[in-house]
Amino acid sequence: MGLGQTRFLMYLSASSLLLNAVLDPLFIFGWGSFPAWGVAGAAWATVLSRALVATVGLGLLFSGK
């Protein structure tokens, strides 16, 4: 049986998806000051969004809350 705060983890995962959806067009098409990186930009957007969410999750894990 799994117990815990599943709602917060769902919000954390959803925020990763939303951040990825915002960063993808910026890195793929190069809007504003971002250069157009194409497929590599999509990969970087995914890596950055997941790394940020992983950092928040690990911070919560080691905070003891």
- In this prediction the pTM is 0.82
For the stretch 12-57, pLDDT in tens is 999 999 999 999 999 999 988 878 999 999 999 999 999 999 999 9
The residue written with tokens 């098409």 in the block is 29
